[in-house]
Each structure stands twice: as C-alpha cells, then as structure tokens.
C-alpha cells in the first residue's frame, strides 16, 4: 500500500479537493481493485473497528456497497435504518449519531434526504473531541462524493489501468446529461471532473438545470485552488455530445413530473435520451456512465446499457466497492 | 470432505437431478452435520466469498437459514430486501441482480413470488460469462429445492445416520398431504422422492390438487432418467396414510379461503388434518414432517407437533442449515 | 478474565439477583471495558457460537448494542424482526423460538411488548432439555435487566473506576423520576439498586406511579434475600431530588397523553422536568442518567443533557456494550 499524504478526517464534499487528494484515492482504490481479483478478497486492515451505516434515507444499493467494502476490510458493521428507530420516538439526528458514537463507532457512513446532515454530524464529532470519521453517502441535493469518486476512478482506470491519475483527464470532454439541478451526483462530479482538468458540459431541460448557473462559476472562483474550471451549460443535447469522450447520464426521478418540471418521460427521452444514433456525435471510443438504478428507455436506450463496448455501468458498481474500501482505509488510518 | 463428481453450476429445479446428485448432497450435508456438533461450528471454506440473499419475496426463516449456513462457511453475506430497494425506483430484477454481480457476489440465493425468476437470473449470469452461482430459495409455485433436499436428508439420515443415501428410500411409502397445487415445496419433493425410489402418495381436497395430474406423469416420461416414478393421487386422506412410513404435511395458506378453494380451516382439519388417530393407519414407526411455519390445529394437531417420537420438524430445521451449507459448498467449489 | 461463581442459565429478571451476581457482572464488564479501549476490540470468546436477536418489538438502539457486543465476542449473529416474519403467517412465538433453536442458536436475546415472553421461552428451552440461554432485552412493563445492569455499572464504575462493586452504593441516594408505572427500566433498576444498598426515591405524577406501591414492598419481603430495601415514593419532585447523588430520568412515552394519564408534555416538564435549577437540591456532585432516547426539553433540559459534568448518558451507551458483552460471556460459558 502506498505511503500517502492523506490528512482529511471526513469526506463530506469534493468542493475543496486537490488533485493530490484525488490521486491518493485513485491509487489506493487501484490497489484494492487488485485485492478484489483474488479468491479471498478480505484484508485485515480494519479488524476490530466498527463502521456504522446511518442511512436516514433508505438505500439498498449504496448501503450494500459500503457494507461490503467494510466487511472486506474486516470491519464490523452496524446498520441503522429509520424504519424501526428511535427517530420515530422523537430523538434528534445528532442524538442518534452520538448514541452510535458512544457504542464505539469508528467511521459513520451517513445518508440523509436533507443537505448538510453529514457535515453537522462531523462538526459535532469534532466539537466533542472524538476521533470518529464521517463519510457522506448522499445528502439531499448537495453531494454524493463516493459516487463521483467511483466515476472518476472508472474513467481514469479506463484511460490507464496500471496507473490511474487525474492528469489523464486533461483534454477529455465529458457530458453530464439530465436532471442536473436536483442531482447530488452531478454536483459532486462537477467538482471532481473540473478540478481534475476535464472539460465538462451539462445538458438538460431548462427546468432541470441550475437556474443560476453562476453559482457554480462563483463557487469555482471562491475555491482557493484557483483552477480554471471548464464548465459549460446547454439546453440542447447535441452540443454537449459533440466530440465527447464520456457521457454521464443521470437518473430521472419520477417525482419531477408531479412537480410539473417535465411533461412526460417519453418527451424527456425524445429530447435527452441517449440513443446509439445520438452517440455518433461523440468520439468513436465514447463510453456511457449512469449511477443507477436506470430507468431503461428513459435516460438511455436499453440496448446501449447492455453493450459492453459502450456501457461502463457494471464497472462503476464494481469500482464502487474498491473506491469505498479506499475511503474507509484512508479515513480509518489503515495500517 | 468427500471427492465429488458435482458439476452443476446452479440449483434451480430438481426435475433433472440424478440419484448421484442427491447422494453427493446427502454425504456433504452429513459431514457438515458433524461439524455442527462441535463447539466452534465455523469452517473457513468460503472465506472472502460473498453470498447475497436476493429475497424479493420476504422470508425470515429461509433467509436466516441460508445466512447462517453462509456465515458458518465463513462467507460474507449481503441481504437484499425489496422494502427499501431500487425496485420501487423502477429497476428491473435482472438489473438488480447485475448490480450485485458487479459488487462481487459469488453465490446468489434468490426468492421471488414469480416462478422462473431464479432461472432467468442464472441464464443472464451465464450469458454474461460470469462465474456466479444461483440457488433457488423458492420461486412462485414452481420449486423450493433446498427445502426438498433437507426433507430428503432428514428422512435418509433417520434411516441410516452413518450413511444417508437415496437407495434407502426404496420401498418407503411417503404421503404428502395438503395444498399440493400451489406448493413449490410439494413440487420439489415430488421430483426428489420419486427419483430416489420412494412411493409417493398425494392427498388433498380436489381444489388443491393439480387438476391435470398428467402434467406430473408426462414430465416424468420426458425426464431423461427414464425412471419409473411411483406417484399416486388421492382425494381422500386415508389411502395415502395407509402403511405410510412418512407423512409430509404442507402449510395451508390462509388466502386459499379468500379464493374460495376451501370452505374453512375447520373443515380442512376435519378432512385432512393429521391426528394421532389417523396416524394409526400408518406404519407404527411413522414420522411426520412439515416445512413450517405450522398452523397448529390445522395441518396437524398441536400435540403431534410436540411429540419427539412422531415429529421430525426440529430435525428439518437443523438439517436445513447443514444441507444449505452443503449446497453453498458444492456451488462455491469449496476447498 | 476472573474466575466466577456464575451459575445462572438465563437473565430474565433481577428480582432474585444477589449482590455477588451483580459483582460478577460488574467485574466482567470492567475487564471488557478495558478491551474496548484497544484498537482491535474483538476477542475470540464466542467464536462459532450463534447469538440470535429475537426482537418481536422493534428497537434499533438496544438491538445494535447487543449485536455489537456479540460481534466483539466473535459470535455470529442472526436478527429476527417481526415485519416480514412467520408471525404474520400465524406461527406462535414459541414455535418461532424453537425454529431458531433448531437452527443452532446458542443465546437468544428477546424483546417483546408482552411481559413474560422471555420467561416462557426460557421455560420451553429448559423443558426441551436444550442448552440455549435466554436474555431478556425488555418485556412489556416487566423488566429490562441489561439496561439496569448498565446503569449499575455506570454508577459503580464512576464511584470506583478500578474496582466497581455494589457495596459502593451503600449510603447513595438515587432518584428515579418519571413514568415509573409503565417502565420496565424502572422496575429492573428498583431491584438492582435496592438490593445493592442504595436508597431509592421514586417521583412522578400520581397517574404514572404504581397505584399499589405495596406490590414492590411485598415483592421485597418475598425475596429470599431478606434485604432491607430502602424504597420511597413521592408525588413531588423535590423530596426525591434533595441530597440525591444520582438522578435517573425515564423516557416519557407520547401515548400516555392519549391515555389521559398526562395533560401535556409541557405540564409534565413544568412539574417533573429536570433543570439546572432543580438540580441545586441535589448533592453538588450529582449526575443525571437517562436510558434514551431522550425527548429533549421534556424529561430534562437540553443543556443538561449535553453537559459532560452532569450527564452520564454517553457513558450509559458505551457501558451498555461492555455490560452486554459480560452477560453474553457469562451465559455463553466464555472461555
């Protein structure tokens, strides 16, 4: 395992991540990917430590991925779900977190439908002088850093399987298509991809794009990295796809129709659905990503999803375990 | 552990199982039964492998049995349940399975209320060229092979505890009583018991028996084993019980009343409930089985269930863990 | 680990616990507390044994605590919850327990909304001649022994961290405030604290106090220990707090309002809520306990809960894991 300069205590947002942070994660994930090709995929790194999944918003897929990552590092895992919990008895979120702290949790993986909850819990853990580490597994429409990091790893390890690193993204054009406005996945990806040097093109219906695009640009300027972030927004699909190296599609939430932000799934697909025909606008080697679960025939055509030449979706899921092992390892001070 | 000629990649249905397949499972289960008498009941066979329980239809009992079997083989386990899952977000069943494949699942244990789902997933795993093994834990009214195999093991290990094997069933008369028509347990048991040489007598109300009994007979003829299967159907209880060595009772689903297939539980019990009196028709050493959970006083009288001289129900549950360890071991290529 | 005279097979009620029983638990918990300060908090004591959490009444907090205790002793754990269970299919509670017995459970941790269920299951386990141990994790309004034991450990280890033992309670005044009548926590605590030598003062609204206080006194007389138990009941808060060394607050269930036992939470807080002002009646070193989850601003003021000089709540949760490890260890015949 590499010697790393990693000093972060929590992973809540990618807004201030530096290229070297990304590189540390990519290299650590690469070494765990190697472990995952063995018959015995377990390593004793976090033996005797406790990883608690505090999923206030239920999720099977992300929780399973974190749970498996923790088990493969030999950690013990606890799963909290709100269904039968103290929350319905009036306990505050911070008190729930402090209960799991007191039980002996070392790393908390937190999902909540409200933005800011993981940060609030991390702040409380620091205020109390604890050594607990917090990992944001998705908070409202804010961020979903582990998803963006697995996307980054999927792209970089495709570009150079032996040595995935962020400078590989220089000159790559990446389209992100769909409901950008409500997507924590998009938000995290915008931070990581633009910081890593890619040219990022957002495309979607105007109602599902940030109304004040400037918020992103301003945020970039405020960022102490002073990177020149290459971020473009389009109300049409075509300019985003043109000569793209990668196309990231986002999940369309059905509730957007009820909110009158979209007329119908069919109309969405007609204008922004990814089809084989439309992919001809991209580079010949273009690859398609999706964070899942996919609405087949809405965000992208069913046959594209199943085409191993085009779709990186299975790799995203597999890499998700390796990247989450890397995050738990780095936060857990793995030895 | 024995050297085995086991070559099956999945266990979906017992329709084409050969006597040597059953014998391999019985012998493997016997060696795990021995392990389960020790204080430390764990073996490192599947260390570092992942067994995922994909229970689209919820079940505590069967899932716990598989989960414990996997843990005793030192596998890591993941549990998928539909409650808080991607399914409610529109993901297809195959996409859910492929997600768990991509995470690194080695063996999938699948339950679904629709017949054919485990086979469809196994087909997809093969089509994709993966090495994932599929175990059917109950699909609709089709099959429940692990239940039939633990029933088989319970009977054969009673007949010869040191060397359970299917030829012990030669000449044994086994009655299966109840709702045969809707029972995946009955269907799997009919395959295993008739292939193994027992004489099988089905008894139940006409509305709960296969309307076209020929389907079973025809299926037998199509079976390449060319076994002469001894299968009989009765609309009365008595001819099935007469001189029986074993009586398998089936769980009566309460929904059968709503479907007007049964007038009442009481009437069912009067005509087909197993009582001490009725068991006098059987051989003196007769034993009673039930896959659980039991409606006490409906399928069989409460006192029979608690009589260790008569009931094999606790052994069925115990043997369930050993048989499921054997199945996971054989599918996992245990070493 | 100490040599112990522990001979109990089950922990259902503290009514007949002797001071030496408490001391054995306190000393065992103390040695596990030491284990929990290490980086690797696992010990191999219960390797290969199965601890099943049969939580007929759902609970995240207590189940997590028992689950973590079991995992840190290297046991395998199974979780039964009633949601998707055989219970909805008409299975009796005893049959559910016998199913988990037959699967190979070594220790059952049982919670049920009805008093007496853990005892009934323990009786059945004995009647069947099994070696299964039963731990009551809360039964109706009867008892919650592990909570009372962790409270005891929290108090005694504060009084002498190196050597927690019950004779430290001699002369300590402990107030228990709130809904005594419906509280299994209070009931268990009354047994342990009075047997251990403390002077216990109950305070609460008359509707939430035992109507026949004599039941406690009579029970004490029946107790073969012939201890002179020092138990007092007050309808006002002040005499209970006066010169108290410890104040145990109880959770107020919201349903008590619907039952017309309380006018409002606000009125409850005005009369029985613990405030910094009211604590001035107590000894200067007074500490406050609460079994959680807390209704902030009802049972006690929010700022008190967060004051590490006053609140023992985090210690209660932490000690819960050590005490439950001790109980599992002692019942499991740990070596």
pLDDT in tens, B301-310: 999 999 999 9
d(CA A146, CA A13): 9
The mean predicted confidence, pLDDT, of chain C is: 91
Question: Mean pLDDT, to the nearest integer, of C162-168?
Answer: 96
Q: Which residue of C has its CA nearest to A90?
A: C295
Phi-psi region of A278 (alpha: psi -120 to 50; beta: other; left: phi over 0): alpha
Question: Mean pLDDT, to the nearest integer, of A308-312?
Answer: 97
d(CA A82, CA B95): 26
Under the banding of pLDDT at 50, 70 and 90, the label for residue B86 is low
Measure the CA angle with vertex C252, ends C292 and A108; round to 5°: 25
Q: Could you tell me if C271 lies within 8 Å of chain A, comparing CB atoms? A: no
d(CA B70, CA B77): 7
Write down the pLDDT at residue C82. 77
* Interface probe with A: pick from B52, B84, B129, most Cβ of A within 10 Å: B84
Share of chain A above pLDDT 70, in %: 91
Of B47, B95, B100, the CB nearest to A293: B95
Write down the pLDDT at residue C256. 78
* Interface probe with A: pick from C32, C60, C289, C304, most Cβ of A within 10 Å: C60
Write down the pLDDT at residue C226. 46
Q: Do C99 and B293 touch (CB under 8 A)?
A: yes
The mean predicted confidence, pLDDT, of chain B is: 91
Q: Do A81 and B76 touch (CB under 8 A)?
A: no
d(CA C94, CA C117): 9
Write down the pLDDT at residue A60. 85
Of C41, C60, C65, the CB nearest to A84: C60
Of A60, A71, A72, the CB nearest to B84: A60
The C residues from 74 to 93 touching B (CB cutoff 8 Å) are: 76, 78, 80-81, 83-86, 89-92
Share of chain C above pLDDT 90, in %: 79
Question: Mean pLDDT, to the nearest integer, of A270-274?
Answer: 96
Q: Do C98 and B314 touch (CB under 8 A)?
A: yes
d(CA B106, CA A96): 35
d(CA A136, CA A13): 8
Which residue ranges make up each domain of chain C? 19-143+317-331, 145-315
Of A36, A59, A315, the CB nearest to B104: A36
Q: Which residue of C has its CA nearest to A76?
A: C71
Q: Which residues of C touch B321 (CB under 8 A)?
A: 103-104
Name the minimum distance, in Å, from the CA of C60 to any CA of chain A.
5
Under the banding of pLDDT at 50, 70 and 90, the label for residue B40 is confident
Q: Do A103 and C42 touch (CB under 8 A)?
A: no
Write down the pLDDT at residue B224. 43
Q: Is residue B82 scored above 90 in pLDDT?
A: no
Q: Do C68 and A76 touch (CB under 8 A)?
A: yes
d(CA C122, CA A284): 69
Q: Could you tell me if B295 lies within 8 Å of chain C, comparing CB atoms? A: yes
pLDDT tens for residues C36-56?
Answer: 988 888 999 999 999 999 999
Name the minimum distance, in Å, from the CA of C127 to any CA of chain A.
33
CATH for B145-316, options being 3.40.50.1370, 3.40.50.20, 3.30.70.870, 1.10.10.2120 = 3.40.50.1370
* Interface probe with C: pick from B293, B302, B324, most Cβ of C within 10 Å: B293
CATH for C145-315, options being 3.40.47.10, 3.10.450.50, 3.20.20.10, 3.40.50.1370 = 3.40.50.1370
Write down the pLDDT at residue C223. 46
Write down the pLDDT at residue B254. 78
**Distant-in-sequence, close-in-space partners of B123: CB < 8 Å, separation ≥ 6:** none
Q: Could you tell me if C22 lies within 8 Å of chain B, comparing CB atoms? A: no
Write down the pLDDT at residue A152. 98
* Model ipTM value: 0.91
Question: Mean pLDDT, to the nearest integer, of A75-101?
Answer: 83
Q: Do B292 and C86 touch (CB under 8 A)?
A: yes
Q: Could you tell me if B317 lies within 8 Å of chain C, comparing CB atoms? A: yes
Q: Which residue of C has its CA nearest to B255?
A: C89
Q: Which helix (H) or strand (E) holds C62?
A: helix C61-72
Under the banding of pLDDT at 50, 70 and 90, the label for residue B91 is confident
Across the strands, what pairs with B230? B199
Of C58, C295, C321, the CB nearest to A103: C321
Helices in B145-283 by DSSP H: which ranges? 145-159, 184-195, 214-222, 238-241, 255-258, 265-272
Q: Is residue C222 scored above 50 in pLDDT?
A: no
Q: Is residue C319 scored above 60 in pLDDT?
A: yes
Helices in C128-208 by DSSP H: which ranges? 145-159, 184-195
Max mean pLDDT among B287-291, C262-266, C292-296 falls in B287-291
Q: Do B64 and C78 touch (CB under 8 A)?
A: yes
Place of tokens 């002179």: C228
Higher pLDDT, B217 or B121: B121
pTM over 0.90: yes
Q: Which residues of A touch C320 (CB under 8 A)?
A: 103
Q: Which residues of C touch B316 (CB under 8 A)?
A: 102
Q: Which residues of C touch B72 (CB under 8 A)?
A: 48, 76
CATH for B19-143+318-331, options being 3.40.50.150, 3.30.230.20, 3.40.50.1370, 3.40.50.1000 = 3.40.50.1370
Under the banding of pLDDT at 50, 70 and 90, the label for residue B226 is very low
Write down the pLDDT at residue B85. 54
Name the minimum distance, in Å, from the CA of B302 to any CA of chain C.
11
Name the minimum distance, in Å, from the CA of C221 to any CA of chain A.
37
Q: Is residue C315 scored above 60 in pLDDT?
A: yes
The C residues from 25 to 64 touching B (CB cutoff 8 Å) are: 47-50
Name the minimum distance, in Å, from the CA of A200 to any CA of chain B.
27
Question: Mean pLDDT, to the nearest integer, of A112-138?
Answer: 97
Under the banding of pLDDT at 50, 70 and 90, the label for residue A40 is confident
Under the banding of pLDDT at 50, 70 and 90, the label for residue A14 is very high
Write down the pLDDT at residue C43. 94
Write down the pLDDT at residue B1. 46
Of C83, C91, C104, the CB nearest to B41: C104
Q: Do A90 and C61 touch (CB under 8 A)?
A: no
Q: Do B293 and C78 touch (CB under 8 A)?
A: no
Q: Which residues of A touch C67 (CB under 8 A)?
A: 78
- Find how far residue B12's CA is from the centre of its chain: 11
Strands B173-177 and B199-203: parallel
Higher pLDDT, A224 or C185: C185
pLDDT tens for residues B55-77?
Answer: 999 888 999 999 999 999 999 99
CATH 2.60.120.10: does it fit domain C19-143+317-331? no
Q: How far is CA C295 from CA B307, C238, C262, C265, C299, in A?
A: 50, 21, 15, 10, 6
Q: Which residues of B touch C89 (CB under 8 A)?
A: 251, 293
| Tally of CB atoms within 10 A around C127 | 9
Q: Is residue B222 scored above 50 in pLDDT?
A: no
Q: Do A64 and B89 touch (CB under 8 A)?
A: no
Q: Which residue of C has its CA nearest to A77?
A: C68
Q: Which residues of C touch B39 (CB under 8 A)?
A: 48-49
Write down the pLDDT at residue C262. 86
Across the strands, what pairs with A296? A300
Q: How does DSSP assign C79-125, residue by residue? A: EE-STTSGGGGT--HHHHHHHHHHHT-SEEEEEESSTTHHHHHHHHH
Q: Which residue of A has its CA nearest to B88?
A: A293
Q: Which residue of A has its CA nearest to C55?
A: A84
Question: Mean pLDDT, to the nearest integer, of C258-265?
Answer: 83
Q: Which residues of C touch B68 (CB under 8 A)?
A: 50, 76, 78, 103-104
Write down the pLDDT at residue A59. 86
Higher pLDDT, C319 or C217: C319
Measure the CA angle with vertex B93, ends B88 and B96; round to 5°: 80
Q: Do C102 and B293 touch (CB under 8 A)?
A: no
Under the banding of pLDDT at 50, 70 and 90, the label for residue C99 is very high
Under the banding of pLDDT at 50, 70 and 90, the label for residue B111 is very high
Q: Is residue B135 scored above 50 in pLDDT?
A: yes
Place of tokens 């084409």: B16
Q: Is residue B223 scored above 70 in pLDDT?
A: no
Write down the pLDDT at residue B53. 96
Q: Find chains touching chain C: ≥3 CB pairs under 8 Å.
A: A, B
Question: Mean pLDDT, to the nearest integer, of B221-227?
Answer: 47
| C37 burial via Cβ count (<10 Å: 0-12, 13-18, 19+) | exposed
* Total count of residues recorded for chain A: 335
Of B42, B296, B321, the CB nearest to C48: B42
Q: Do A103 and C64 touch (CB under 8 A)?
A: yes
d(CA A143, CA A191): 10
What letter would DSSP give residue B253?
P
* Total count of residues recorded for chain C: 335
Q: Could you tell me if B131 lies within 8 Å of chain A, comparing CB atoms? A: no
Fold type of domain A19-143+319-331 = Rossmann fold (3.40.50)
Under the banding of pLDDT at 50, 70 and 90, the label for residue A257 is confident
Share of chain C above pLDDT 70, in %: 91
Write down the pLDDT at residue C213. 54
Q: Do A65 and B95 touch (CB under 8 A)?
A: no
Under the banding of pLDDT at 50, 70 and 90, the label for residue C84 is low
Of B40, B58, B292, the CB nearest to C99: B292
Q: Is residue B151 scored above 80 in pLDDT?
A: yes
Question: Mean pLDDT, to the nearest integer, of A145-174?
Answer: 97
Of B41, B61, B315, the CB nearest to C99: B61
pLDDT tens for residues A180-236?
Answer: 999 999 999 999 999 989 999 999 999 999 866 555 544 544 444 445 688 999 999
What letter would DSSP give residue A112?
E
Q: Is residue C211 scored above 90 in pLDDT?
A: no
Q: Is residue B221 scored above 70 in pLDDT?
A: no
Same topology, domains B19-143+318-331 and B145-316? Answer is: yes
The mean predicted confidence, pLDDT, of chain A is: 91
| Pick from A204, A272, A198, A192: nearest CA to A25 | A192
Q: Could you tell me if C131 lies within 8 Å of chain B, comparing CB atoms? A: no
pLDDT tens for residues A47-74?
Answer: 999 999 999 998 889 999 999 999 999 9
Question: Mean pLDDT, to the nearest integer, of C191-214?
Answer: 87
d(CA B152, CA B8): 19
């Amino acid at each position: 395992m590499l010697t790393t300069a990693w000093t972060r205590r929590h992973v809540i947002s990618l807004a201030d991540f530096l290229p070297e942070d990304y590189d540390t994660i990519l290299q650590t994930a690469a070494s765990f990917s190697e472990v995952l090709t063995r018959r015995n995929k377990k390593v004793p790194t976090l033996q005797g430590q406790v990883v608690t999944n505090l999923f206030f918003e239920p999720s099977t897929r992300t929780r399973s991925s974190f749970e498996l990552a923790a088990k493969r590092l030999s950690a013990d895992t606890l799963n909290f779900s709100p269904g039968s919990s103290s929350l319905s008895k009036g306990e505050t979120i911070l008190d729930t977190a402090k209960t799991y702290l007191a039980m002996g949790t070392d790393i908390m993986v937190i999902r909540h439908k409200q933005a800011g909850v993981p940060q609030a819990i991390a702040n409380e853990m620091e205020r109390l002088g604890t050594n607990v580490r917090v990992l944001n597994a998705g908070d409202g429409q804010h961020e979903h850093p582990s998803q963006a990091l697995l996307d980054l790893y999927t792209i970089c390890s495709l570009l150079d399987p032996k040595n995935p690193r962020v400078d590989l993204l220089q000159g790559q054009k990446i389209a992100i298509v769909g409901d950008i406005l409500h997507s924590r996945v998009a938000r995290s990806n915008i931070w990581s991809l633009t910081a890593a040097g890619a040219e990022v093109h957002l495309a979607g219906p105007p109602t599902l794009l940030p109304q004040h695009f400037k918020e992103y640009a301003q945020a970039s300027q405020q960022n102490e990295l002073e990177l020149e972030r290459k971020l473009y927004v389009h109300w049409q699909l075509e300019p985003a796809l043109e000569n793209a190296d990668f196309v990231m599609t986002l999940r369309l939430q059905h509730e957007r129709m009820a909110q009158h932000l979209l007329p119908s799934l069919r109309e969405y697909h007609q204008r922004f659905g990814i089809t084989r025909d439309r992919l001809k606008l991209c580079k010949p080697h273009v690859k398609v990503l999706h964070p899942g679960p996919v609405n087949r025939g809405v965000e992208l055509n069913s046959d594209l999803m199943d085409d191993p030449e085009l779709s990186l979706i299975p790799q995203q899921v597999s890499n998700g375990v390796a990247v989450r092992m890397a995050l738990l390892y780095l936060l857990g001070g793995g030895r």
